[in-house]
Structure formats: C-alpha cells, structure tokens
Amino acid sequence: MEIQHFSHHHPLVFIQDHSVASKAALCLGCDKPVEGWSYGCNQCEFYLHKGCAELELAPEIQHPFHPKHPLTLLTNSNRFPLRCDLCGKRFGGICYRCFDSNFDLQINCALLQASIAANFPKSLHPHPLHFIQNPNKEVEPDCHGCQKPISGPFYHCSDCTYPTLFNLQKECAALPLEINHPCDRKHPLTLLPQPPTHPQKCSCYLCRMQWKGFVYSCSLCNFDLSLDDFLFSPPTITVASHEHPWMLVSRKMSFVRDFCGTGGDHSPYHFHTCVVFVHKNCISLPRHIMITRHRHTISLSYSLRQIQVEDWVCKICYEEVDINYGYYRCPASRCRYIAHVRCATDKEIWDGKIMPEGYYERSEEGVDEPWNLITDVVEQIRIGELMVASEIKHSYHDHNLRLTFSGKTKDDDSQCDGCTRPISTPFYSCEQCKFFLHKDCAELPKEMPHPFHKHLLTLSNLHEYDYSWCSACHRLYQGFWYRCYKRDCVFQFDIQCMLLSDTLKRPSHEHSLVLVHNSEGTSCSACFKKLFSWDVAYRCMKRCDFSLDVGCATLPLTAWYKYDRHPLTLTFSDDSEPSQHYCDLCEKEREPNRWFYYCADCDNSLHLNCAVGDLPYVKLGSKMNNYSHKHPFTVVKTIWNCPPCKVCGEVCNGQALECKESECNFTVHWDCRRDLR
C-alpha cells in the first residue's frame, strides 16, 4: 500500500512493523522515534508515523494560540531547525506557520485543546491565558515559574512568543501570593513573576543562584527566595553517595563549596562531622558520567591534591582548577583529564546519563569495531610494514572502489562524494561510474561522538531534499553527514565541521581557541556576524576579545580567482589605503577589519563569500529540486562570460543554479531563487 504525501516527492510505502528495522529513525512529521505501523521512503530515509501521515489536517486553520492570522500547514523542507512558539523547542518536521509574523507550531502543540483561563491573578501575568488540561506526553515546555519541564496541565499565553514564552504549570499557578518563611521572620514574602531590581545583583537567599522564574520577595529586606528552594529545600537530605545526612544552615555564611569549589554568602547544607559545605544541587551530583569531550568516563573527586597532572586547567573552559575542591577527572591510569563540575555537567555537554561503577571506556566509540565500519575490504596490498585496503566495498555505493595514490582523475573538477572537496590523493574511485571518495572519508565510522553535541551521531549519505543544512556552520551541503537520532534532537553536521575538535589553532590569532556552546552577546571576529545562544563557536583560550563562528573556522586558507594565476590567501587585516578596500569580483566595498582573500603578487582582493561561493559544499553538476521552480536546478560554476541572474540582474560569478529547460534557460543566484516568479 502506498500514499502520496504532500511533504515528500516520492510515494510512501506502508511498513507493518518499523521496530524490526535495522536502523532507528525519526518521524519527519513530529520528530519522534518511529515504531510499529508507519509509512516510509527507504531511498530517502523519510518516515512518518501512520497517525501523522493520515492526519486529516486542514491546509489552513485559525488557531487559538495565534488568533491574529491563519496558520498554514507545511513541511520544513530544508530540515533547518525551527522553534515552536508554544513549547520553545526546536523541531524539523511538519508544522503550522504564520507567514505574516513567523509564528510556528509543531504538530504536537497544534493539536492541543485549550480553554480561556478565568480569574488568573493579573499580578502574575498581564495577558489572557489559555488553560491546557491534557497536554501531549511529547510536549514538555518549561514552566516560567519554577523553570522546570511541564508534565501536566498548564497555562499558556498566546501574546508572548519566543524568546519571551510564558507557560505556567498548574501547581505554580496555585501557589499562595503571600507566605511567611523562617528565613525572614520580620515580614511576609510576596510572590513576584520575576526577580525584582535591587541595588545589588539579585539572587536567591538560600542557594544564591541567579534565578529567572517566580520569586518570593521582601522589598524591605532585599530578600528573595526562589520557588526551587521554597518547594524543594527540606531541613535534611540523605543520599547514597555520602554516609551522613546533610543539614540546611538557614543563615548567611561566607564559604566555598567543597564539591564544586564556588563560593558565596548564603545558606548551605553541611555535616559538622565532615566539616563539608555544599550547594543543595551538588549533593546529588553523579559519581561517574560520560561526555563527548573525552573518550573515557570521568569521575567526581572531592580533592585533586593527590592526582598528578600536567597542568591544573579545566579541559572544557580552560580556566584554572582549584585543586582543593571537587572536580571531575578521568580515572584511567595514563589520562590526566580534569574538568570543573559545572563545565562537565553543563546541559550542552552532558546528556544526563549516569555511568555505572567500573565503566571506564566508551565502548560505542570503537571506530575499528566491525559493527561501526561502513566498508568491507576486498583486496589488500603491503606498503612497507602496513597492509592497506586497495579495493573496498562501501555501504554507500553499489560497485567496488579502487585506491589511487597518485595522479588525477579524468575530470580535474572532480569532487569527493563524501566531503565534496576537490579530489586529492589518496582516494578511492569507481571504475564504472563517476564516484570518488577520499581515503579518510571512506574510513569514516558509522557512529561517533563529537564535542559539538552531547549525543552520539550517526553517519548518513541520504538527503531528504537533495541537500541539508549544517547545524554548526549553517551552510547548505551534500555528501556524507552526521545526524543525531535522539528524541527531540534535530542536530546534523557536515563532514567539514565534524573534522573540527574542541580546540583550534588558526594563524589569525596568536592563542589557541576553545569550543563554547553559548556565544550570546558576542560576534565573530572574522565576519562580524552576531552569535546567538544556540551557536557553537570558538573563543580565545586566553580570554582575548576574539571569537570565530564555525563557518569562518572552516574557511580554507587559500582560494582561486578566475583572473589570477596565483592562489589567494586568507588574510585577516588590511592596512592599505581606503580607496583600495574593494572586492575585485563583485566590485563592492570591503570593510578593512573583516577577513578577505588576497593575492599580493597581483593585488587582487575578494570578499570571503565571493571567494568560496554560496555553495562551497555542494557538488557541481548535481540536481537540486526547489519549491520555487517547476524544474530541477543544476549547480554550475560560471567563470567566463558569466550570465546575469534572472532575479537581481547581477552577474552570476562563481557558483549558481541553472535551469537548462528550453522554455527557461536561465541562471540564478542561490539566495535569489526564492524570488523567482
């Protein structure tokens, strides 16, 4: 049985039981794991739950969560993560969208039933609220009050959209508006929807952690209590990791926490026999965890005084480690990896899984394990003392591939089908068809961890719409790619970005750079692009005011220009006369402090994008379907006698899209394709 679904260009075949399939998959409708009955296109690895595929959803609806404009049903064709304006989570499947205000609702949220909430205190929120009695189990927005995931009935404000979402679980909405608390016996505490502005930086009295949700506050005493501590701070706490119970000290104390090494003047938990003080959250810290920044399990240690390491530097943030307090370290005998507690348990680095006692190796990282290989060796040759596979059978190609160590391909413009870079030796090739793989790309493992993401990533070569978008550099790409198949994750990375590590050394800066997951408030020092909280980027290890986004971190050091016989070099500053600050390709002005490509012999200068092109990771000659045009486009490299773009009228230098159909016969820039009429 087949159906033709609007979200996919191939027919979808009914699958009786997807759970018996050899490979896990996500539903492209709701982004949840596919099990049981489903529809799928095995050629494109496109799958839909039977329920998602057969939902009789109207193409346009009026939804109470966005009453201003109608919402249109569409598929996120580029698979570039969108963010739902109800739950705030990223998703990549079918959704409802308002094109007037860029309002998006993923399917799970669009199906929620809501009613107008009456008699809600205006002091807690000024807008009308919708009460959602039976939310989907998959929809778990964070509560604005307690900052925790919502698991039951909640209130939602349709006037507040990302990044100022307002969702409040029923329990927090029922909190008393005024309480008496033993930590401030003089005055009652009033419930406020956000921390008040005090002369000093506001934080919770008990835990002194900065708090974004509801607080109980006394303006006369400048006293604030977070909901977390009001609801979940018992007088004593007993945990299996420590032999004594922890007791709450309800007075201000100046001390450093023995578990995490951070200080403050607030109420800790302690046990007088051990003379140990800890944050409440640190009491339940896991003993053993696994992070993608390191191949072994790392373990919590209360003191590193007896450990011999080369330097006392956290291998995540590269700030100094105080050896008198607790940190995570690698217990392997020859490994000297250490990290701050807060760095190792950051939600972007640790997936929350606790490792059992005695588990030290990342067994799933075994690149050489048979289950993790995508090639079979057909023939070997000896080179010196090494045995090298001279002929292989690759999982992503029908024919055997032969290894070449020298010489060029028949087509000098040939590109690797794995990383899309120009072919260089050594490489594997198919004698029957035009298929090339660099040796490194042919040996990529099926699954591997990467510091960009906290989950294990899986290799694929299939693209739902002929191409995909990289979650790291935000470039369009073809060829091989790695994707996360965990629930609620839509992260995917091209091979160029997967080759990066957690540290980077570039000639543009004297110090090494370190990977960071939250770059909000900074800009790339190369292209000046503003960075957001969800962007991974690199910053100076020595805390210079220098940052690089991943796109600029992967720029090649040299590029070619059609009117120059020399390679152009990536250049980081320009002290020439202002009249010389122009790009020789597009003839537009350059900013002197932005990176550019330059040939000193011929005095040619190019913008970064003019040198590398709009589609640096796309194969020339490949076909690309696009909703803006009825015919498929061909990716071409226009060098001589460049035609003008059909949309903007400017010359299509470098890479462009071409429609060769007789009734069309035009060329268009990639960025202009959406404006085709």
Lowest mean pLDDT among 95-109, 136-150, 284-298, 390-404: 136-150
Tell me if the bond preceding 426 is cis, omega within 30° of 0.
yes
391, β-bridge pairs: 379, 402
- pLDDT exceeds cutoff 80 at 21: no
Residue 452 has pLDDT above 90, yes or no: yes
Whether residue 493 is contained in a domain is answered as no
**Highest averaged pLDDT of the listed ranges 217-221, 279-283, 325-329, 436-440:** 436-440
**Band of residue 481 on the pLDDT scale cut at 50, 70, 90:** very high
φ, ψ dihedrals at 260, nearest 5°: -110, -10
In a domain, 637, yes or no: no
pLDDT of 535-560, one tens digit each?
Answer: 899 999 888 889 999 999 999 999 98
Lowest mean pLDDT, pick from 296-300, 392-396, 449-453: 296-300
Whose tokens are 């009955």? That residue is: 37
Say if strands 223-226 and 215-218 run parallel, antiparallel, or are unpaired: antiparallel
Confidence at 302, pLDDT banded by 50, 70, 90: low
Residue 449 in any domain: the answer is no
Q: What is the pLDDT of residue 24?
A: 65
Per-residue pLDDT for 654 more than 60? yes
Q: Identify whether 496 is part of a domain.
A: no
Residue 581: CA count within 13 A, CB half-sphere: 13
**φ/ψ of residue 41, rounded to 5:** -120, 100
Of 401, 420, 444, which one is at a domain's C-terminal end?
444
Element at 455 (helix H, strand E) = strand 453-460
**Domain of 7: which CATH number?**
3.30.60
Tell me the two tokens of residue 496.
Answer: 């160029």
Position 120, amino acid:
F
Quote the pLDDT of residue 571: 93
Looking at residue 364, its pLDDT comes to: 41
**Strand pairing partners for 38?**
15, 49
Same domain assignment for residues 386 and 326 = no
- Same structural domain, 341 and 384: no
Q: For residue 182, what pLDDT band results from cuts at 50, 70 and 90?
A: low
Instruction: Count Cβ neighbours within 10 Å for each residue of 53-65 and write b for 16 or more, e otherwise.
Output: beeebeeeeebeb
Q: How many CB atoms lie within 10 A of CB 308?
A: 6
Asked if residue 275 has pLDDT above 50, the reply is no
Task: Flag whether 141 is in a domain.
Answer: no
Share of the chain above pLDDT 70, in %: 78
Please report the pLDDT score of residue 231 as a whole number. Answer: 64
Q: How many domains does the chain have?
A: 4
Instruction: Identify which of 37-41, 55-59, 89-93 has the greatest average pLDDT.
Output: 37-41
**pLDDT band at residue 394 under the 50/70/90 scheme:** very high
Highest mean pLDDT out of 280-284, 401-405, 562-566 = 401-405
Domain boundary among the residues 304, 328, 345 is at 345
Residue 327 lies in a domain: yes
Cα atoms found within 13 Å of the Cα of residue 5, Cβ hemisphere only: 29
Residue 98 CB partners (closer than 8 Å, separation 6+): 66, 68, 69, 70, 71, 72, 104
Burial class from Cβ neighbours inside 10 Å (0-12, 13-18, 19+) for residue 79 reads buried
Lowest mean pLDDT of 155-164, 372-381, 423-432, name the range: 155-164
> Residue 240 CB: number of other CB atoms within 10 A?
7
Lowest average pLDDT, out of 337-351, 423-437, 615-629, goes to: 615-629
Residue 471 in contact with residue 450, Cβ under 8 Å? no
CA–CA gap between residue 323 and residue 244 (Å, rounded) = 24
Q: What one-character DSSP code corresponds to residue 24? A: -
pLDDT in tens, 204-225: 444 445 567 888 887 777 667 7
Of the candidates 357, 349, 431, 438, the residue with the CA atom closest to the CA atom of residue 398: 431
Task: Report the pLDDT value the prediction gives residue 252, as an integer from 0 to 100.
Answer: 44
Residue 188 to residue 174: CA distance in whole angstroms: 18
pLDDT band for position 455 (50/70/90)? very high
Of the ranges 195-199, 331-335, 367-371, 609-613, the best mean pLDDT one: 609-613
Q: Calculate mean pLDDT across residues 322-331.
A: 79
State the residue range of the domain holding 35: 2-54
**In-domain check, residue 589:** yes
Q: Summarize the confidence of residues 374-397 as an average pLDDT.
A: 90
Position 184 scores a pLDDT of 55
Listed residues 383, 415, 444: the one ending a domain: 444
Rg (CA), the chain: 28
Given its phi and psi angles, is residue 479 left (phi above 0), alpha (psi -120 to 50 degrees) or beta? left
Look up residue 553 and give its DSSP letter.
H
For residue 341, which phi and psi values (nearest 5 degrees)? -60, -45
What is the rounded CA–CA span in Å between residue 368 and residue 377? 13
d(CA 388, CA 550) in angstroms, rounded, equals 34
Residue 142 lies in a domain: no
The pLDDT of 145-165, averaged and rounded, is 83
Question: Which residues touch 494 (CB under 8 Å, ≥6 apart)?
Answer: 419, 468, 470, 472, 473, 475, 477, 479, 481, 617
CA 438 – CA 433 distance, rounded (Å): 16
pLDDT interval class at 308 (50, 70, 90):
low
Alpha-carbon distances, residue 25 vs 445, 472, 653 (angstroms): 18, 22, 40
Contact present, 375 and 393 (Cβ < 8 Å):
yes
Residue 363: per-residue pLDDT = 44
Q: By C-alpha distance, which of 158, 106, 107 is closest to 132? A: 158
Mean pLDDT value of segment 473-495: 88
Which amino acid makes up residue 207?
C
Q: Does residue 384 surpass a pLDDT of 50?
A: yes
